[in-house]
Amino acid sequence: MATSGDARQEGSVTGDSGDHRPSLRLGIPARALAGVLSAGVVLGIGELVAVPFGSSASPFFAVGSTTVDRSPAWAREIAITAFGTNDKAALFIGMSILIAVFAAVAGVVERPRRPYGSIVLVVLGLVGVYAALSRPGATPVDALPTIVGVAAGILTLRLLTCRAPERDEAGHTPAPTLAGVSRRRFLTVASTAAAVAVAAGVAGRHLAGSIAGAVRNRMAFVLPLVGMSDRAPAVASGTEIAVPGATSFVTGNNVFYRIDTALQVPMLTTDDWSLRIHGMVDREITLSWRDLMARTPIERTITLTCVSNEVGGDLAGTATWVGYPIKDLLDEAGISPDADMLLSTSADGFTVGTPIDILRDGRDALLAVTMNGEPLPFEHGYPARQVVPGLYGFVSATKWVVDWEVTRFDRAQAYWTRRGWAEKAPIKTASRIDVPASFARVSAGEVLVAGTAWAQHRGISRVEVRVDDGPWADATLAEEYSIDTWRQWYWRWQAVPGTHTLQVRATDKDDEVQTEVRVEPIPDGASGWHTRSVTVV
Ligand SMILES: Nc1nc2c(c(=O)[nH]1)N[C@H]1C(S)=C(S)[C@@H](COP(=O)(O)O)O[C@H]1N2
Ligand SMILES: [Mo]
């Protein structure tokens, strides 16, 4: 193989050694190829970036769908008559040919100083942006995949067709020209661009496909049937105070707080899912989805709370869950008497350590599969997550859980414990003023002060309110749903003009009064009384 290529000036046309140009011009076919490869990069990168936004944000599929939606009925008739069920394939092939033609032209007309080809790519990109933004339910971020793709495509086109000016022998920097690019360099950049385009496109399609598979799987999910005696009692009207602006007793799935370390929400199907129970057990078991569904589910309404919740914060929510008692599943495996920790792991490797005695003390610790009458939303752990009344989420509520290792606290450490958080963390008694809003202006006279309080698995027995450090007054408690849920309260305040400070504290059913001592969430939860300033006019 000849190795003199670097010294020799290579190119496909017009040798022009007379004017000290370092290399030769690229021929038309090479430039056309450069254009097509750049368009491939636009589409491939666009496909990959579109994954989190759904395929209607992918430049290619957005343009395809918009074409289908906008084409007149007769055109569709013709397409269906001509191509039958291959009409979509025909559309995609047609689009690809059209894009390739424009892209080839773009490559041919690209100039270092006059980037006409880049302009062609921008125009094609605008078509993609227009299509993506006109899909049903589109938001401005749906333009992002096309914009990022076009930027990558322009970069590719310029790398392939333009070369940074080099100094000539006299030391002058020549004006940028449609400068030559050595064949070797062209081939390297071209094959890299092709590889990037294909890899990004394939990866994007694959990820989008597995996401679509998980979405379909969740849509086909059959809610487990819960026996009459295992249903959660309905939320009685007395459980919910009728104060405008108050937090609703049950939190909707779409407004339920979400806390996790997952940059990409795991998208499992029930077929992908299994739960391996191992470690200090009598017999290791792996439950498939079908195995789990063969067990008897129960339904419970339980309030979850995040340890990161600040005093007065809203990282708490109540939902009705259908799930399988964790205790029963552990008993099937047989727990060694020496074990004291259940180390649970999610599909994305997050870990949680939960005291086994708590899981087996009779409380409704669940491996939950539904939330408020639907399959778990993906962000909340589809297809299965833990819910344990009375423990903060980081030590109990593993989402996308796939592995249970029965072990000991002196042998294993979970994700947040390794990062300075507590190893055990029961939920601290808390109370929160929800009404009036922070820094609200209210009229003098009777003002309703209302909120919520929680001490999961102990229950709330009393809530007191005070104004400007005055005497504590008993608030009226809403009916208790159960000791595992929050409890609403209200208090009628005879407000006089001025700026006032409202404070609340709760007492749990162990007669422990919520502590005034303010601590930060780390390591085992915030404490202190929630205080709110209100102006009365
Ligand atoms: N897999 C996984 N599960 C997790 C977490 C996580 O980061 N990854 N975070 C936990 C924490 S800190 C909390 S408070 C709850 C929150 O559950 P939610 O997002 O459904 O409200 O999930 C818990 N389960
Ligand atoms: Mo949390």
CATH number, domain containing residue 335 = 3.90.420.10
Question: Is residue 4 assigned to a domain?
Answer: no
Same domain? For 208 and 233 the reply is no
Q: CA-to-CA distance for 107 and 33, rounded, in angstroms?
A: 7
How far apart are the CA of 176 and the centre of ligand 1, in A?
56
**Confidence category of residue 8, pLDDT binned at 50, 70, 90:** very low
Q: Does one domain contain both 108 and 189?
A: yes
Specify whether 149 is located in the same domain as 234. no
Residues with CB under 5 A from ligand 2 (ion): 259, 306-307, 393-394
Query: What is the pLDDT confidence band of residue 464, given thresholds at 50, 70 and 90?
Result: very high
Per-residue pLDDT reduced to its tens digit, 338-348: 999 999 999 99
Domain co-membership, 235 together with 297: yes
**In this model, does residue 3 exceed pLDDT 70?**
no
Ligand nearest to the CA of 261: 1
In this predicted structure, the answer to whether residue 166 has a pLDDT above a threshold of 70 is: no
In a domain? residue 217: no
- Asked if residue 218 belongs to a domain, the reply is no
Strands of the sheet with 487-495, listed across from one edge:
430-435, 445-454, 487-495, 476-477
Between CA 70 and CA 88 the distance in angstroms is: 15
pLDDT at 318: 98
Of 294, 403, 292, 385, nearest to 345 by C-alpha is 403
Q: Is the pLDDT of residue 6 over 50?
A: no
> Is residue 5 in some structural domain?
no
Residue pair 359/299 in contact by the 8 Å Cβ criterion: no
Q: What is the DSSP letter of 115?
A: B
* Mean pLDDT along residues 163-173: 49
Q: Pick the residue whose CA is nearest to atom 4 on ligand 1.
A: 398
- Percentage of residues in the chain with pLDDT exceeding 90? 74
Whether the Cβ atoms of residue 208 and residue 362 lie closer than 8 Å to each other = no
Omega before residue 383 within 30° of 0, cis: yes
Do the domain assignments include residue 516?
yes
Q: Which of 108-117, 356-365, 413-422, 432-441 has the lowest mean pLDDT?
A: 108-117
Statement to judge: residues 109 and 248 lie in one domain: no
pLDDT for the residue 181: 59
* pLDDT over 80 at 307, yes or no: yes
Instruction: Give whole-number Cα distances, 273 to 148, 249, 393, 413, in Å.
Output: 34, 32, 21, 24
Residue range 388-398: mean pLDDT, rounded: 98
- DSSP tag of 405: E
Q: What local confidence, expressed as pLDDT, does residue 1 receive?
A: 36
Tell me: do 112 and 190 sit in the same domain.
yes
Q: Which domain holds residue 28?
A: 13-166+175-212
Contact criterion met (CB below 8 Å) for 513 and 505: yes
Q: Which residue blocks in 134-173 are alpha helix, DSSP H? A: 144-161
- Calculate the average pLDDT of the chain: 90
Q: Which residues of 108-137 are buried (b: 16+ CB within 10 A; e: fewer)?
A: bbbebeebebbebbbebbebbbebbbebee
Question: Binning pLDDT at 50, 70 and 90, where does residue 458 land?
Answer: very high
User: Please, are residues 180 and 11 in contact by the beta-carbon 8 Å criterion?
Assistant: yes
- From 158, 184, 212, give the residue that closes a domain: 212
When pLDDT is cut at 50, 70 and 90, the band that residue 18 belongs to is very low
Confidence at residue 90, expressed as pLDDT on a 0 to 100 scale: 84
For ligand 1, atom 5, the nearest C-alpha belongs to 260
Tell me the C-alpha distance between 435 and 233, whole Å: 27
Which residue has a Cα nearest atom 20 of ligand 1?
380
Q: Does residue 208 sit in the same domain as residue 117?
A: yes
**389 in the same domain as 295:** yes
Per-residue pLDDT for 15 more than 80? Answer: no
Q: Where among 377, 397, 419 does a domain terminate?
A: 419
Ligand 1 neighbours (beta carbon < 6 A): 256-262, 304, 306, 346, 350, 380, 393-394, 397-400
Q: Ligand 2 centroid to 307 CA: how many Å?
A: 5
- Same domain, residue pair 470 and 493: yes
User: How remote is the CA of residue 218 from the centroid of ligand 1, in Å?
Assistant: 20
Q: Which of the pair, 71 or 223, is modelled with greater confidence?
A: 223
Q: Is the peptide bond before 523 cis (omega within 30 degrees of 0)?
A: yes
- Total domains present in the chain: 3
> Which of 44-58, 74-88, 233-247 is predicted most confidently?
233-247
Residues 152, 247, single domain; the answer is no
Strand stretches in 398-486, DSSP E: 401-407, 430-435, 441-442, 445-454, 460-467, 473-474, 476-477
Output the residue whose Cα is nearest ligand 1's atom 12: 394
List, in order, residues 6 or more apart from 430 with CB less than 8 Å away: 305, 309, 311, 316, 453, 454, 455, 506, 514, 527, 530
Residue-level pLDDT at 184: 80
Look at 152-161, 315-324, 485-494 and tell me which has the smallest mean pLDDT. 152-161
pLDDT surpassing 60 at residue 167: no
Q: Residue 476 has which token pair?
A: 């009226």
Q: Using the mean position of ligand 2's atoms as its centre, give its distance from the Cα of residue 344 in Å.
A: 15
Express each pLDDT in 194-247 by its tens digit: 999 999 898 888 888 888 899 999 999 999 999 999 999 999 999 999 899 999
pLDDT-derived band at 180 (thresholds 50, 70, 90) equals low
What span, in angstroms and rounded, lies between the C-alpha atoms of 476 and 521? Answer: 29
What is the Cα–Cα distance from 107 to 101, expressed in whole angstroms? 10
384 with 253, same domain? yes
Look at residues 398, 419, 440 and tell me which one is the last residue of a structural domain: 419
**304 C-alpha to ligand 2 centroid (Å):** 9
Residue 264 and residue 188 share a domain: no
Asked if residue 2 belongs to a domain, the reply is no
Tens-digit pLDDT profile for residues 469-493: 999 999 999 999 999 999 999 999 9
So what's the pLDDT on residue 65?
A: 84
What's the predicted TM-score (pTM) here? 0.75
At 177 the pLDDT is: 39
CA dihedral 186, 188, 191, 196 (to 10 degrees): -110
- As a whole number of angstroms, the distance between CA 174 and CA 112 comes to 13
Q: What does the pLDDT average to over 510-535?
A: 97
Among protein residues, the one whose CA lies closest to atom 6 of ligand 1: 260
